[in-house]
Structure 1
């Protein structure tokens, strides 16, 4: 901790605790682990000052850093920067190690078992995290399944995931398989071309598959009578802890952090694991589909030609023969119109993100460090000159001047992506026109970065000035698609933005989450919520509670999530219930946990809560 005279002493006591979570979780792009939660609470105010999740055992230095963050930027909104008078640790060794450095800051420390308030805060937080452990049994509850079987199944799943057949065929282009034994006709729907969820669904009946392709108000009614046989690839927090334990114990192969195999049967009122025989059918499909898709041929229009193939395979229940046929059947014309040209050989892979403010601190900082930014931006002096005009425009208060500078930049170089973005924000007279400017900006950014930009700049898309225009263009594409009521298309952009910048510096996750909720893609929303476990905003805590209620009903875990939300921001219910009117204009800013945040959240999610049957009554009962 650094001494800062502006940080006044506050006669309060903080409690610091460390706990290793009982559940496996993962950060974006990383495989599962059992991390530690560090929490600082104020029992007198019944508030959480700071929370952090770390993967390794915390040392005294990391604890001092957390305390310093709690003093300088508490999670409780726009509260003043104050140093506590006393810090209580629940570990006597920490008291000995930290007594001197804290004493240097005029902060006393002592040992004491956690009070009830701190224990409750930890329990609520862990309860929310543990929601990631679904309410269905682990894979090894399947009767007859051995570790050798699991090894084979995971290996075949890894092969399918790496081959990515959904890049070739969309969910509207199923494949027909006849598997013998057990003399079973199977229709396979591949999932993943939209970039939301990857895997496949199996159907025994053609009409059942067609029902899934229909737009429905209640997706539960689309589930086949014998259940939806799903094999998806998920992040680790979607699996039971016993499955993750098995992956570690038996060294089961997993292709990527978002590629943990999850075979499930979804009935209308429960979820179960497949039987051993059903797992064998899944395995036959896992082996057959990559081989079959690899030999499909297309005509000059990019449409795939009719194809058949026969394979001899070995599954966990023995050998089988498989006959494959494409296309599997005739998709009605009104269904095909929804494909948006998916399933042809040339597939665009756009991405997306979110940002509220035009001249945000990030842009101003970049403009103020223009000499450094230009040196990193491009080796092309012409493009540097154009970008210099954009930086100048960002520092100008007059909109007309900004537009003129943007046009001048584009006259110098048509590859100045930020020039198009500035015109989209300042000059465009319609959402459609802005969307076209963003598209041109995206194309310019991709030209500047080259075809291998994803691989070359992986994990550094925010750290590098030269990649930021791409992120800004992707943001504009996503947001204008939402405004054009093309939410389904916008999902691809939001997803890619988070893939490129997992730390999500520009807040893509908020627009992504709200769009998923609007489209009733609750499982994907649930997965996104658990990708950012350090998020403490009302947007995350209340939406987490809502999704928990939608997916599981008023369970104990859902109530834990809601209690955590109510503790994080107690002002939200009054606006959701209609007890307080919304202001005519939204506040200029808000802080985590304050009433302005409640206004923003409730205004955006008001309809989602009221349209979910029983949700308002549930929150009223718990709130009272």
Structure 2
């Protein structure tokens, strides 16, 4: 028996055993996570839904994720994102928006997983004539502010298994979102082509001395491709920097002054950084070393909205 099929059967057996031992589970509307004895049952359902998703059993996977969200609305297992994206993938956009509204403040969500889903919803609406180009780009900007890696990673068409450890703005978060978005982009013709066109719609980087990049860094996390092949996510927005509340937090000099020969910014996830020496997290580079800035035109225009 193939490993995934074997895992699927094991989870099904665990769920069936739970129903035999506790028949009242079938009648319960809620199965709260806070009650410890419910957790093995909820974990088995989550495992089953995840395995079925990996097996291409989208309908079965969605129904099991839906069950978890109904049984445990607090969503301690983080299934609201997969449910949201799977509903988009089968064209149930209204229900998807209801899920987002109920569990993450809808279009005002601060979660990247929802904001990137709204790009897909609005792209379809745009194709049908129900969403303007301006509104579509606004949805894109909201999402890009939360994670710069997602769209470039999605366009590589390299689907990776989701990570168990996720932090905001990170590549791991992007991998999870791409994993969820791919089912929809495969069913929605023209999505990837539009995203690819939008990424460098006015050139791969501004034709200036770095002033636009400097302005963008004051507001957002920006993905910058360097000529040496390195890709970094950086910002000079102090409010966005992790650790800013610690007494040991320090800023690098030159960060607030534009100098085309030395752009200074905080790099997300820099390994050399620790809580005792924040200066290690700052990088500097001349604008001439920058090769690309994805979506720079869209983000720059959004500054004035």
**Change in 2 beyond 3 A, CA 1:608/1:454:** same
**Change in 2 beyond 3 A, CA 1:479/1:452:** closer
Give the total of aligned pairs: 193
Equivalent residue number for residue 177 of structure 2 = 601
Give, in whole Å, the separation in 1 of the partners of 2:16 and 2:77: 20
2:93 is the alignment partner of 1:522: yes
Equivalent residue number for residue 285 of structure 2 = none
Equivalent residue number for residue 193 of structure 1 = none
Equivalent residue number for residue 468 of structure 1 = 39
| Structure whose residues are more often helix by fraction | 2
How far the C-alpha of 1:603 sits from its partner, in A, is: 5.2
2:114 is the alignment partner of 1:537: no
Equivalent residue number for residue 123 of structure 2 = 549
Give, in whole Å, the separation in 2 of the partners of 1:485 and 1:462: 28
Give, in whole Å, the separation in 2 of the partners of 1:585 and 1:443: 28
The 5-angstrom pairing of residues 583-602 of structure 1 reads: 589-602=165-178
Give, in whole Å, the separation in 1 of the partners of 2:69 and 2:2: 29
Alignment match of 1:574 (pick from 152, 158, 161): 152
CA contact (8 A) 2:82 2:180 kept: no
**Change in 2 beyond 3 A, CA 1:533/1:477:** same
CA contact (8 A) 2:116 2:143 kept: yes
1:478-524 deviation digits (Å, cap 9, x = unpaired) = 22322332211222211111001111111122332343343343333
Give, in whole Å, the separation in 2 of the partners of 1:557 and 1:566: 14
1:147-204 deviation digits (Å, cap 9, x = unpaired) = xxxxxxxxxxxxxxxxxxxxxxxxxxxxxxxxxxxxxxxxxxxxxxxxxxxxxxxxxx
Q: CA RMSD in A?
A: 3.4
CA contact (8 A) 2:159 2:178 kept: no
Give, in whole Å, the separation in 1 of the partners of 2:24 and 2:164: 40
Secondary structure of the residue aligned to 1:497 is: helix
1:535-588 deviation digits (Å, cap 9, x = unpaired) = 53322211122212213444544433222111112333333444xx96999877
Give, in whole Å, the separation in 1 of the partners of 2:68 and 2:7: 19
Alignment match of 2:15 (pick from 427, 432, 442): 442
Give, in whole Å, the separation in 1 of the partners of 2:65 and 2:164: 25
CA contact (8 A) 1:566 1:623 kept: no
How far the C-alpha of 1:464 sits from its partner, in A, is: 0.6
CA contact (8 A) 1:516 1:524 kept: yes
2:138 is the alignment partner of 1:564: no
**Change in 2 beyond 3 A, CA 1:477/1:589:** closer
CA contact (8 A) 1:537 1:593 kept: no
How far the C-alpha of 1:592 sits from its partner, in A, is: 0.7
1:47-68 deviation digits (Å, cap 9, x = unpaired) = xxxxxxxxxxxxxxxxxxxxxx
Taking structure 2 as the reference length, what is the TM-score of the superposition? 0.52
Secondary structure of the residue aligned to 1:565 is: helix
Taking structure 1 as the reference length, what is the TM-score of the superposition? 0.28
**Change in 2 beyond 3 A, CA 1:465/1:454:** farther
CA contact (8 A) 1:497 1:508 kept: yes
**Change in 2 beyond 3 A, CA 1:618/1:454:** farther
Give, in whole Å, the separation in 1 of the partners of 2:163 and 2:66: 29
**Change in 2 beyond 3 A, CA 1:431/1:575:** closer
| Structure whose residues are more often strand by fraction | 1
Greater RCO, CA 8 A, separation 6+ = 1
Secondary structure of the residue aligned to 1:531 is: helix
2:187 is the alignment partner of 1:613: no
How far the C-alpha of 1:470 sits from its partner, in A, is: 1.8
**Change in 2 beyond 3 A, CA 1:505/1:587:** closer
Equivalent residue number for residue 280 of structure 2 = none
